[in-house]
A and B are shown apart, each in its own frame.
Chain A
Amino acid sequence: QLRLQESGPGLAKPSETLSLTCTVSGDSISSRSYYWGWIRQPPGEGLEWIGNIQHSGTTFYSASLRSRVTISIDMSRNQFSLTLSSLTSADTAIYYCYFSDGEPFVFDFWGQGTLVTVAS
């Protein structure tokens, strides 16, 4: 069974760059035409789509975050990653990784999420 697990620092400083990793188990990250992506949720608030990547390396990003976001994939480690630069307190959120089986508009399965707090 496919399992996604986020990892990264729980605390980051303003103006710095955040790096998060999602480790995939139960299937190969390159075995199908999945989309692998990230969604975030500020504490007590709603969901925001960040972006996704295919195993080919093709990426798509939210227009509001595009200038600060990079998503990459490491097939040798069965992982994909998110970097978010120029952090502010508004980036404090639970960050979820997910996959889409086929079409990129449906977020089929999610990791448990990791809380990132941006504070000095």
Chain B
Amino acid sequence: QSALTQPRSVSGSPGQSVTISCTGTNSDIGAYYYVSWYQQHPGKAPKLIISYVDKRPSEVPDRFSGSKSGNTASLTISGLQTEDEADYYCCSYAGGSNFGVFGGGTKLTVL
């Protein structure tokens, strides 16, 4: 059982927006702004797309955005494209030397 809770799957049509939630506790997401998101295509390594709740690496399209409220973080993908179909994982610092607790992952299907 993962430390953070994500929906197993979400879906959307090209051009639409989807939001993936990630629920933790006041010991991880609720306590720190060290929430990151990773995109993983089948058979590939995960790729960082959001760090520090809402910061995007320069090479990541601005269609990807992150936010946090209380113990829940969210990833929003606007203007869905077929290449966005992938698994998405959230991750949070959880104090001490526990640098990364992950969610179970969400499979995004672009219909």
Contact A49 B97 (CB under 8 A): no
Interface size (A, Cβ < 8 Å)?
A: 23
Contact B89 A105 (CB under 8 A): no
Chain B residue contacts of A49, Cβ below 8 A: 91, 98-102
Min CB–CB distance B99 → chain A (angstroms): 5
Contact B102 A96 (CB under 8 A): no
Known: A47-B89, A48-B102, A107-B36. A96 touches B48 (CB 8 A): no
Name A's interface SS.
loop
Task: Count A-B contacts at CB 8 Å.
Answer: 60
Interface size (B, Cβ < 8 Å)?
A: 25
Contact A46 B45 (CB under 8 A): no
Q: Which chain A residues numbered 38 to 96 have a C-beta less than 8 Å away from chain B?
A: 39, 46-49, 52, 60-63, 96
For this complex, 14 residue pairs linking A to B, each with C-beta atoms less than 8 Å apart, are A37-B99, A46-B89, A46-B105, A47-B38, A47-B46, A60-B97, A96-B46, A103-B34, A105-B32, A105-B100, A107-B46, A107-B48, A108-B48, A113-B45
Question: What residues of chain A have their CB less than 8 Å away from a CB belonging to chain B?
Answer: 37, 39, 46-49, 52, 60-63, 96, 103-113
Using A103-B34, A110-B47, A112-B45 as known contacts, list a sample of 19 further A-B pairs with CB atoms less than 8 Å apart, ordered by residue number in A: A37-B99, A39-B100, A46-B2, A47-B38, A47-B46, A49-B91, A49-B100, A49-B101, A60-B99, A105-B99, A106-B36, A106-B48, A106-B51, A107-B46, A107-B100, A108-B48, A109-B48, A110-B46, A113-B45
